[in-house]
Amino acid sequence: MNDQALVDGFDVNELTTAFLEDPFPTYRALRELDPVHRNKDGSYFLTRYADLELAYKHPAMSSDKTVDFKKTMGDGPLYRHHTTSLVFNDDPYHARVRKLLAGAFTPRKLAELEPIIERVINNLVGELRGRETFDLIDDFALVLPTEIIADMLGVDERTKPLLRDYSLTVLGGLETALTDEAREAGDKAVAEFGAYLQDLIDHRRKNPDEGGRGEVLAALIFGEVDGETLSDVELVHNCIFLLNAGHETTANLTANAICCLMDNPEQMRRLRDEPGLIDVAVDETLRYDSSVQLGNRKLTEDVDMNGTTIPKDAYLHLAIGAANRDPAKFSDPEKFDIGRTPNPHFAFGWGKHICLGATLGRIEGRHAVGKFIQGFGTIEPAGERERVLRARFRGYRHVPVRAG
Ligand code: HEM
């Protein structure tokens, strides 16, 4: 299909399987021919780096989704969850929750987590060495973020295996076109995991000195900002958000990096020869194949977007994956280059809502990808990869791998 046909056929609410498999040709066509693309529902799809930069920095951008999510999600638990999490709110509520959460991501807290991360990954690589083939997702990439989030929230061993489905189902509720089936599954997942978290919160309130596990949960329950604490409903939904924010995204970072390296053997060889490049390689994966492909904002006044006036109340889709390959910002942007510096990508967003877990995600990526590559002499595909076909979150359901 030529570029004009890709642009003419594009609507964010009617995405094709071909787009979900590989959005990059469409991103390129939009960036070149229609960078401020108007969808049939009146929302706009932005693909240029400069336009995302403007959107992230502009004071007239709201993250509040109370009106827009009602149209697709209805009024049930899924809707209440997404509209209570900090990421889909403006200040002062957003700032209050962010301050409470920030205590869990200080350099000191992250330094405490790093040995745990290293231990989990070393054990995993050791176990996988005994197997000829395995699934990169279930047997490797998902294990570390599950352990870390479970640890932060105090989730027990019996519930850990349920976390991936909860996370996929609740995040699925954010897709641009939401089926009744997906909405019902989202409602059920929020209700079930929410009830589990409420029990944890009740237990922790009665046992405030129970140290160790569930540190973040305790900080959220007992923390105060300007004399205010979070209500139980706010607590539950922000904990569910933490699961979603830190689980699928980080697992996808690890698996996407290893897949990019398998697809670019010269880059795999370079990383083996120069293991010190691991942090740069992780950031290049974030740019080239970001776990989060789309962000959203809503305008609180008319805004001129490099020549196009976008009206107040318009909904913006920020195509992070497209901006991250904009040739106006990155040289040779379609090349996966593990030595790329500087690399000012938007994989973690920007501004007030910039990812609070970015450093943690990078540390997890560094150990998971670095130790995996160094742990095996050969790493190659052992069958067809299966993608999770979503527009917002990019990653695989299964990646069969042979390593030895
Ligand atoms: C590599 C993995 C990750 C990616 C690509 C990623 C991406 C993002 C992006 C793009 C945003 C901004 C959303 C917006 O602008 O509306 C965000 C926000 C956020 N992320 Fe991450 N994230 C990752 C890992 C994590 C981890 C590990 C955690 C915590 C355990 C986390 C916690 C958060 C939180 C709390 C926010 C909300 C910040 C706010 O609204 O002020 N993220 N993330």
pLDDT digits (tens, 9 = 90+) for 107-141: 988 998 899 999 999 999 999 998 989 999 999 99
Question: Which ligand 1 atom is nearest residue 247's CA?
Answer: 27
Residues 6+ apart with CB under 8 A from 111: none
Range of the domain at 88: 3-403
Whose tokens are 């008319």? That residue is: 302
pLDDT-derived band of residue 241, with 50, 70 and 90 as boundaries?
Answer: very high
Residue nearest to atom 11 of ligand 1 (CA): 355
Ligand 1 center–CA 245 separation, angstroms: 5
- Give the chain's mean pLDDT: 94
User: Residue 56: pLDDT above 90?
Assistant: yes
Q: Which atom of ligand 1 is nearest to the CA of 286?
A: 5
Cα separation, 402 vs 376, in Å, equals 10
CA 354 / ligand 1 centre spacing (Å) = 7
Distance from the alpha carbon of residue 348 to the mean position of ligand 1, in angstroms: 6
Nearest residue to 136 via CA among 245, 259, 22, 21: 259
Q: Summarize pLDDT for 274-324 with one digit per residue, the tens.
A: 999 999 999 999 999 999 999 999 999 999 998 899 999 999 999 999 999
Q: What is the pLDDT of residues 333-382, one digit of tens each?
A: 999 999 999 999 999 999 999 999 999 999 999 999 999 999 999 999 99
pLDDT higher than threshold 80 for residue 233: yes
The DSSP code sequence of 83-130 is HHSGGG--TTHHHHHHHHHHGGGSHHHHHHHHHHHHHHHHHHHHHHHT
pLDDT tier for residue 210 given thresholds of 50, 70 and 90: confident
Answer whether residue 166 shows pLDDT above 80.
yes
Between strands 315-319 and 44-46, the pairing is parallel
- Closest Cα to atom 32, ligand 1: which residue? 357
Average pLDDT over residues 192-208: 93
Ligand 1 atom nearest to 364, measured from its CA? 27
Give the Å distance between the CA of 338 and the centre of ligand 1: 23
Residue 259 has pLDDT above 80, yes or no: yes
CA-based end-to-end distance of the chain = 40
Take atom 20 of ligand 1 and give the residue whose Cα is closest: 355
Please check the confidence at residue 212 and state whether its pLDDT lies above 70.
no
The predicted structure's pLDDT at residue 336: 98
Residue with tokens 């489905």: 165
Above 80 in pLDDT, residue 214? no
Which of 324, 313, 290, 284 lies closest to 52 in space, CA to CA? 324
State in Å: Cα 223 to ligand 1 middle: 21
- Summarize pLDDT for 138-157 with one digit per residue, the tens: 999 999 999 999 988 989 99
70 contacts: CB under 8 Å, gap ≥ 6: 79
Residue 104 has pLDDT above 90, yes or no: no
Would you state the pLDDT for residue 357?
Answer: 96
Mean pLDDT of 155-165: 92
Assigned token pair, 361: 């995600």
For 67, other C-beta atoms within 10 Å of its C-beta total: 11
In which band, very low, low, confident or very high, does the pLDDT at 208 lie, cut at 50, 70 and 90? confident
- Tell me, what's the pLDDT at 176? 76
Report how far residue 152's alpha carbon sits from residue 337's, in angstroms, rounded to the nearest whole number. 34
Q: pLDDT digits over 170-195, tens only?
A: 988 888 778 999 999 999 999 999 99
The closest residue, in CA terms, to atom 43 on ligand 1 is 355
Overall domain count for the chain: 1
How much is the pLDDT for 172? 87
Please name the residue that has the structure tokens 């279930």. Answer: 138
Taking CA atoms, 188 is separated from 76, 240, 386, in Å, by 9, 13, 25
| Domain CATH number, residue 207 | 1.10.630.10
Residues with CB under 6 A from ligand 1: 63, 86-87, 94, 98, 101, 242, 245-246, 249-250, 253, 290-292, 295, 347-349, 353, 355-357, 360-361
pLDDT of 380: 97
Residue 213 in this model has a pLDDT that exceeds 80? no
> Ligand 1 mean position to 147 CA, how many Å?
18
Q: What does the block give as tokens for 4? A: 């004009």
DSSP H/E element including 51: helix 49-57
Phi then psi for 287, rounded to 5 degrees?
-75, -50
For residue 211, pLDDT beyond 80:
no
Long-range contacts of 57-62 (CB under 8 A, 24+ apart): 57/350, 57/351, 58/303, 60/299, 60/300, 60/301, 60/303, 61/297, 61/298, 61/299, 61/300, 61/316, 62/90, 62/297, 62/298, 62/299, 62/300
Protein residue with its CA nearest to atom 30 in ligand 1? 246
| CA 323–ligand 1 middle distance (angstroms) | 18
DSSP string over 207-270: -TT--SS-HHHHHHHH--BTTB---HHHHHHHHHHHHHHHTHHHHHHHHHHHHHHHH-HHHHHH
Q: In whole angstroms, what is the distance from residue 393 CA to residue 331 CA?
A: 25
